[in-house]
Chains A and B, each alone.
Chain A
Amino acid sequence: MDNQRNEPRIGFYVCHCGTNIAGMVDCPAVAQYVSRLPNVVLSRDYKYMCSDPGQELIQQDIREHRLNRIVVASCSPLLHEKTFRGATEKGGLNPFFFHMVNIREHDSWVHTDKQAATEKAKSLAHAAIHRVRFHKPLEVKQVPIHPAVLVVGGGIAGIHAAMTLANAGKKVYLVEREPSIGGHMAKFDKTFPTLDCAACILTPKMSEVGAHPNITLWTYSEAMKMEGYVGNYTVTIRHKPRYIIEDACVGCLECIDACVYKQPKFFDEFNMGLGKRKPVYIPFPQATPQVVLIDPETCLNLKTGKCKKTCVEACADRKAIDFTQKETFSEIKVGAIIVATGFKSFDAQRIPQYGYGTYPNVYTALEIERLVNASGPTGGEVVLRDGKKPKSIGIIHCVGSRDHKTNRWCSRVCCMYSMKLAHLLKEHTEAEVYSFYIDMRTPGKGYEEFYGKLLDEGVQFVRGRVGEVTDWAFTKEEEGKLVIRVEDTLAGYVRRIPVDMVVLATGLEPQADAQEVRRRFNMSCGTEGFFLERHPKLAPVNTFTDGILLAGCCQGPKDIPDTVAQAGAAAAEALVLIDKGHIEQEPNTAFIHEEDCSGCKSCIPLCPYSAILFNEETRKAIINQALCKGCGTCVASCPSGSIEQNLFDDEEIFSEIEGVLAYE
C-alpha cells in the first residue's frame, strides 16, 4: 500500500478494440505519445484490454513496475469501468486509482478523419494522466437490504411474481387498487391458442395468493408514495374504505340478498356494464379476497343516511359492515418493488367511424369476453342488446393499433384474441363470422396452427382496414343491419358486408395514470407511454432505478405466456438483489465540510434525490450518503464551496481540464 502514497507511477493502456478503435485511431502513436509524459512509467497498446490476458497484463505490470495509477483508454466506462477497477484491485491497488478514457463512443465511432481522431485520443489521454495523479483511495460501502418485496398490481403478472417470491420464502406485499385481484385475465372466457378456460387456470392461483402465509394481500389499496433507495424503500399504501371489516366478512353474500334494492340496477364494472349490480356487491364469484364491498356512490345509507340497513341486519352477529370506515394508510419497508400495473383497453369511441357508442350492436372485445362467458351477464348466451341471436358477426382488428391517428404500435394480442373470439362466437351462435385484418400476426407457440384451424372452421378472413361501420342501407338485404365498408385488398375492390353484430378488437394502451405512477416510482416512459426497461434486450425487467422492476403489460403489450415469463424474471431479479443481503454503494458521493457550511439551505431544494437534510441543531446541511447518486448539482451550487464530491474534487476536475487545454 505504501507505494500508493508516493510519487505517482502511472501505467497507461490504449485498447484497439479489434478495429473499433484502431480503425480510426492510431493506437501505437497514442501509446508512444503518452510514454513521454511525466509520471508515466509504462505505456502500451493492446488488442483487447477487456480480455483475460489484457486484465492479467495490468495486474502483472502493477507488481513488476510498482505502478500506483492505472489509465485505460478504450470504450465507455458504462461497459468496462468495473472490469478494469477489478483488475487494478487484483493487482494490489485501491480500485479508485484507476481512470478510464472513452476513445470509442466519444472518438473512433463518431469521427471520420483518422489523424484528427488520433489527436483527440491523445488529448483525452493527456487529461486523464493529469487527473489520475490526484486520485485518492476510496472505500465501497455496504448497506443492508430489507428482504421484503412490494408487488404493485394484482393481475396475472403481479400474481405470478408474488407467488414466485413467496414460494422462495420471501415476504411479499401485493397491492391491488381494484376490490379483487385477477386483473384483465379474470374477465376472459378462454385463452388462446389452447382454449383452456381462463378462470380455471387463474382462480386457483388467486386463492393461493390469498392464503399464502408469506403474502400480505391488500386489495382496494394503492401505493401512493415511495421514498428511500434500492434495498431500503419506504412505501406508503392507501387503503380505500370498502365499508366492510375484511377480517369479519366470511363472503356469505347474505347482505347482497338483503339490500333494500331488490334488483341490481347499477353499472357493473366487471361485466363492462353489460350486467348490473347492487350497491353492496362482490365483483365476481371467484373474487379474491372473498369479501364484499359497498359503493358509496350508490349506497342509499352512505348517500343519504336514510336506509333501513337491511344489510346490517343480515350480517347479524358477524358485524362486518362498518359505515364509518375512512381511508387508512400503512407504511412498509421493502428492498425491491415490482411494478405490474397492466394496461388500459383502447377507448373505441376515439374512432367515431366504427360507431361504438352510436350503434348499440357494436361491441368491444372485452364486452364479448363477458358475453361468451358462462359466468357472464347472459350466462354465456350470445345475444344482441335486443335479445336476438346474431346471424352474422364482423370482427374488426387493429382498432387503436397500427394507426398513425391513434396508436402506432401493434398491440400484439389482438389478432390472436380476435381469432379466439371468432371461434367462440361461431361455437355459441353458428353465425357467419367475418374477421377484418391488416396483417395476421401469429408469432407464438401453436398460434399459426390456431389460425389454420380457424380457416378450416370457415371463418371468413378479409384483408383490409375497415373504413366505416354504418347503418345506411344500399340494398334490401342491408336494411336493419350494420354495414361494414372495407377495401378487400386481396380481391382488389371495396366491399359492403352487412352484419348483425360488430366486435372491435381494441388495442392495449398505457394506463391513464401511467405518468403519475412513473413519477411515483422514479421510472421513465417510452414515447408511447409504457414504462421503459433499462435495456430492451439485456435488461428487460429492470428500470433505470435500481430495485424497481417491471412485469407485464405496463412495460408494453404482451400475451399471457410472455407476461408470466416476464413476471418470473422480475421475481428472479428481486431475489438476486435481496438474497445478497446487502448492496454496494459507489463512493463517488458528495459530502459537506461542516466548518465551511453557512447553513444557507440553497442546496436542499436542488437535490433531485432528496438526499440533503438540514440539521436544526448545528444549522448545517447533511448529505445522506445512501441517497446521494453523485450528480454534483449541490457541489456546483454551494455558494461557500463547502461541498465536495469524491472522485470529482476540484483538484481532479481542474487537472483534467488543464490536461485537455495544455495538450499540444
Chain B
Amino acid sequence: MKYSYFPGCSLKGTGRSYEESLLPVFKALGVEMEELDDWNCCGATAYMAVDEVKACVMASRNLALAERLGHAELLAPCSACYLVLNKTKHYLHDSASVRGVVGQALQQADLSYSGNVPVRHPLDVLINEVGLDEVKKRVRHPLKGLKVAPYYGCQIVRPYATFDDQYNPTTLDRLVEALGGSVVRFPLKTRCCGGSLTGTLPEPGLLCSYIILKEALARGANVIATLCPLCQFNLDGYHDKITRKWDPVRIPTVYFSQLMGLAFGLSEKEMGLHRHFIEMPALAASAAA
C-alpha cells in the first residue's frame, strides 16, 4: 500500500506531533506515504470564505501534483485539508465553469488534473484498508485504564460523511477499543471546538472548547482523542485562559496516532507528546512491559 501524502501546514507547525506519530505508526503497519513535492497551502476554511473559485484553484494544484506523482490515492491527515480537497473535487465534478477556470490556471503552471485522485483520511485507511485486526496484532502495550473521549470535530463528517456516520461516527471509537482503551459515551463528538474563533473572537470560541473539555471530564474520560490539528490546538492550548474565565478542566487532548504509537510500544517522545501542554496520564504497566 503506497499513498501520496499531503501534510498541509499544520503538520509541519502547530501539529508537528501529528506527523511525528503518524509516519512511524503507518510505517509499522506497512503503509508507505510519499510526500508531495512542492505542495502549497490548501486554503483552509479562510480562503473558501473569501473566494471559492480561487480557493479551488489553490487546492487543485495539490490534486494535480498528486496525480503527477502517480500513486492511486492521496492521504490528507488534517481535517481542514481533507475537507477542502474533497470540497474542491465536488466543485470540479459538479461545475463546468469551475473546471474551466481551474483547468486554465493549472495549464499556466504546466499541470493538469483529470479528477481521478481520491482523497482519503488516515483513519479511513486504517479502518477500511489496513483493518483493525492488523492494528491489534501490533499492540504491545494495551491502553488499559485509559478512558478515552473520542472527539471527531466537525470537518471530518460535515458536510460530506464519506467513511463514517454524520451524526454518530464510530471509527475512532472502534480504533481506541482495538488499542485496548475504553471509550466513554461522548455525545459531543462532532461538536465545534471553536475553530479559528479562539484567535479572532475568543469569548465564544473558548466557550466551545470549555464545553468539550468539561463534558469529557464529567463523563469520566482521562484523555480526549482527536484527529484534527486545530481541535488539538484549541483543546490543549488555552487551559490558562479557560481556567481564568470558568474553572479548571484539565484533560489532555492527543492524536489517535499518538495513542496507536504508545500502544505499539513507541515512546512518548517519539510520539511528540512532549510538545503538548497538558501531560498524558501514565499508562498502566502492561503484562508485556
Residue positions of A touching B, CB distance < 8 A: 351-353, 355, 358, 405, 468, 470-472, 474
Point out the residues of chain A lying under 8 angstroms from B248, CB to CB. none
Query: Closest CB-CB distance, B218 to chain A, in whole Å?
Result: 8
Say whether B211 faces chain A, with CB atoms less than 8 Å apart: yes
155-174 of chain B: CB within 8 A of chain A: 165-168
A-B contact pairs, 11 of them (CB 8 A): A352-B167, A353-B167, A353-B168, A355-B187, A358-B185, A405-B166, A470-B187, A471-B187, A472-B187, A472-B188, A472-B215
In contact, A352 and B211 (Cβ under 8 angstroms): no
Query: Closest CB-CB distance, A357 to chain B, in whole Å?
Result: 11
In contact, B211 and A474 (Cβ under 8 angstroms): yes
Point out the residues of chain A lying under 8 angstroms from B187, CB to CB. 355, 358, 468, 470-472
- Say yes or no: A352-B215 contact (C-beta < 8 A), given A471-B187, A472-B187, A472-B188: no
Query: Closest CB-CB distance, A535 to chain B, in whole Å?
Result: 37
The answer for the CA separation of A355 and B187 in the assembled complex, in Å, is 9
Q: Which residue of B lies closest to A353 (CB)?
A: B167
The 10 closest A-B pairs by CB, nearest first: A352-B168, A353-B167, A472-B215, A470-B187, A352-B167, A472-B188, A472-B187, A471-B187, A352-B165, A353-B168
The answer for the CA separation of A474 and B214 in the assembled complex, in Å, is 10
The answer for the CA separation of A355 and B168 in the assembled complex, in Å, is 10
The answer for the CA separation of A358 and B168 in the assembled complex, in Å, is 12
Q: Which residue of B lies closest to A405 (CB)?
A: B166
The answer for the CA separation of A351 and B165 in the assembled complex, in Å, is 10
Point out the residues of chain B lying under 8 angstroms from A470, CB to CB. 187-188
The answer for the CA separation of A4 and B218 in the assembled complex, in Å, is 94
161-210 of chain B: CB within 8 A of chain A: 165-168, 185, 187-188
Q: Which residue of A lies closest to B165 (CB)?
A: A352
Point out the residues of chain A lying under 8 angstroms from B166, CB to CB. 405
In contact, B167 and A351 (Cβ under 8 angstroms): yes
In contact, A472 and B168 (Cβ under 8 angstroms): no
Query: Closest CB-CB distance, B239 to chain A, in whole Å?
Result: 20
The answer for the CA separation of A474 and B187 in the assembled complex, in Å, is 14
The answer for the CA separation of A304 and B115 in the assembled complex, in Å, is 62
Query: Closest CB-CB distance, B186 to chain A, in whole Å?
Result: 9
The answer for the CA separation of A474 and B211 in the assembled complex, in Å, is 8
The answer for the CA separation of A358 and B211 in the assembled complex, in Å, is 21
Point out the residues of chain A lying under 8 angstroms from B165, CB to CB. 352
The answer for the CA separation of A470 and B185 in the assembled complex, in Å, is 12
Query: Closest CB-CB distance, B275 to chain A, in whole Å?
Result: 30
The answer for the CA separation of A351 and B168 in the assembled complex, in Å, is 9
The answer for the CA separation of A474 and B168 in the assembled complex, in Å, is 21
Point out the residues of chain B lying under 8 angstroms from A468, CB to CB. 167, 187
In contact, A472 and B211 (Cβ under 8 angstroms): yes
Binary flags per residue of B247-274, CB closer than 8 Å to A gives 1, else 0: 0000000000000000000000000000
Q: Which residue of A lies closest to B169 (CB)?
A: A352
Query: Closest CB-CB distance, B216 to chain A, in whole Å?
Result: 10
Interface secondary structure of B, over-half rule: loop
Point out the residues of chain B lying under 8 angstroms from A472, CB to CB. 187-188, 211, 215, 218
Query: Closest CB-CB distance, B289 to chain A, in whole Å?
Result: 36
Point out the residues of chain B lying under 8 angstroms from A405, CB to CB. 166
The answer for the CA separation of A472 and B208 in the assembled complex, in Å, is 13
For A358, A470, A471, A472, the residue with the greatest tally of chain B CB atoms inside 10 Å of its CB is A472
Binary flags per residue of B136-166, CB closer than 8 Å to A gives 1, else 0: 0000000000000000000000000000011
Q: A353-B168, A468-B187 are in contact. List 10 more A-B contacts (CB 8 A).
A: A351-B167, A352-B165, A352-B168, A355-B187, A358-B185, A405-B166, A468-B167, A471-B187, A472-B188, A474-B211
The answer for the CA separation of A470 and B215 in the assembled complex, in Å, is 12
Query: Closest CB-CB distance, A298 to chain B, in whole Å?
Result: 31
Point out the residues of chain A lying under 8 angstroms from B185, CB to CB. 358
The answer for the CA separation of A328 and B51 in the assembled complex, in Å, is 71
The answer for the CA separation of A471 and B219 in the assembled complex, in Å, is 11
Point out the residues of chain A lying under 8 angstroms from B168, CB to CB. 352-353
Q: Which residue of A lies closest to B167 (CB)?
A: A353
The answer for the CA separation of A542 and B187 in the assembled complex, in Å, is 48
The answer for the CA separation of A358 and B187 in the assembled complex, in Å, is 10
Point out the residues of chain B lying under 8 angstroms from A351, CB to CB. 167
Query: Closest CB-CB distance, B190 to chain A, in whole Å?
Result: 9
Point out the residues of chain A lying under 8 angstroms from B167, CB to CB. 351-353, 468
Query: Closest CB-CB distance, A392 to chain B, in whole Å?
Result: 20
For B166, B167, B185, B187, the residue with the greatest tally of chain A CB atoms inside 10 Å of its CB is B187
The answer for the CA separation of A143 and B218 in the assembled complex, in Å, is 76
Query: Closest CB-CB distance, A360 to chain B, in whole Å?
Result: 13
Point out the residues of chain A lying under 8 angstroms from B215, CB to CB. 472
Q: Which residue of A lies closest to B168 (CB)?
A: A352
The answer for the CA separation of A468 and B188 in the assembled complex, in Å, is 10
Point out the residues of chain B lying under 8 angstroms from A474, CB to CB. 211
Binary flags per residue of B206-240, CB closer than 8 Å to A gives 1, else 0: 00000100010010000000000000000000000
Point out the residues of chain B lying under 8 angstroms from A471, CB to CB. 187
Q: Which residue of B lies closest to A470 (CB)?
A: B187
Query: Closest CB-CB distance, A353 to chain B, in whole Å?
Result: 4
64-103 of chain B: CB within 8 A of chain A: none
The answer for the CA separation of A405 and B185 in the assembled complex, in Å, is 24
Query: Closest CB-CB distance, B134 to chain A, in whole Å?
Result: 28
Query: Closest CB-CB distance, B38 to chain A, in whole Å?
Result: 40
Query: Closest CB-CB distance, A493 to chain B, in whole Å?
Result: 14
Query: Closest CB-CB distance, B165 to chain A, in whole Å?
Result: 7
Q: Which residue of B lies closest to A472 (CB)?
A: B215
Query: Closest CB-CB distance, A136 to chain B, in whole Å?
Result: 58
The answer for the CA separation of A472 and B185 in the assembled complex, in Å, is 11
Query: Closest CB-CB distance, B166 to chain A, in whole Å?
Result: 8
Q: Which residue of B lies closest to A474 (CB)?
A: B211
The answer for the CA separation of A113 and B183 in the assembled complex, in Å, is 70
The answer for the CA separation of A418 and B218 in the assembled complex, in Å, is 34
Q: Which residue of B lies closest to A467 (CB)?
A: B167
The answer for the CA separation of A405 and B167 in the assembled complex, in Å, is 11
The answer for the CA separation of A353 and B218 in the assembled complex, in Å, is 20
The answer for the CA separation of A405 and B165 in the assembled complex, in Å, is 11
Q: Which residue of B lies closest to A354 (CB)?
A: B167
Q: Which residue of A lies closest to B170 (CB)?
A: A352
Query: Closest CB-CB distance, B150 to chain A, in whole Å?
Result: 14
For A352, A358, A470, A471, the residue with the greatest tally of chain B CB atoms inside 10 Å of its CB is A352
The answer for the CA separation of A405 and B187 in the assembled complex, in Å, is 20
The answer for the CA separation of A353 and B161 in the assembled complex, in Å, is 15
Q: Which residue of B lies closest to A349 (CB)?
A: B168
The answer for the CA separation of A468 and B215 in the assembled complex, in Å, is 16
Query: Closest CB-CB distance, A354 to chain B, in whole Å?
Result: 9
Query: Closest CB-CB distance, B49 to chain A, in whole Å?
Result: 21
The answer for the CA separation of A358 and B219 in the assembled complex, in Å, is 15
Query: Closest CB-CB distance, B4 to chain A, in whole Å?
Result: 32
The answer for the CA separation of A474 and B246 in the assembled complex, in Å, is 12
Point out the residues of chain A lying under 8 angstroms from B211, CB to CB. 472, 474
Q: Which residue of B lies closest to A469 (CB)?
A: B187
Point out the residues of chain B lying under 8 angstroms from A352, CB to CB. 165, 167-168
The answer for the CA separation of A353 and B187 in the assembled complex, in Å, is 8
40-54 of chain B: CB within 8 A of chain A: none
The answer for the CA separation of A472 and B187 in the assembled complex, in Å, is 8
The answer for the CA separation of A557 and B211 in the assembled complex, in Å, is 42
The answer for the CA separation of A351 and B166 in the assembled complex, in Å, is 10
The answer for the CA separation of A228 and B162 in the assembled complex, in Å, is 48
Point out the residues of chain A lying under 8 angstroms from B218, CB to CB. 472
Query: Closest CB-CB distance, B116 to chain A, in whole Å?
Result: 28
The answer for the CA separation of A471 and B187 in the assembled complex, in Å, is 8
The answer for the CA separation of A468 and B165 in the assembled complex, in Å, is 15
The answer for the CA separation of A468 and B189 in the assembled complex, in Å, is 13
The answer for the CA separation of A501 and B197 in the assembled complex, in Å, is 35
The answer for the CA separation of A470 and B186 in the assembled complex, in Å, is 10
The answer for the CA separation of A268 and B100 in the assembled complex, in Å, is 62
Q: Which residue of A lies closest to B215 (CB)?
A: A472
Query: Closest CB-CB distance, A144 to chain B, in whole Å?
Result: 58
The answer for the CA separation of A355 and B165 in the assembled complex, in Å, is 14
Query: Closest CB-CB distance, B111 to chain A, in whole Å?
Result: 36
The answer for the CA separation of A353 and B188 in the assembled complex, in Å, is 10
The answer for the CA separation of A546 and B19 in the assembled complex, in Å, is 68
For B165, B168, B211, B218, the residue with the greatest tally of chain A CB atoms inside 10 Å of its CB is B168
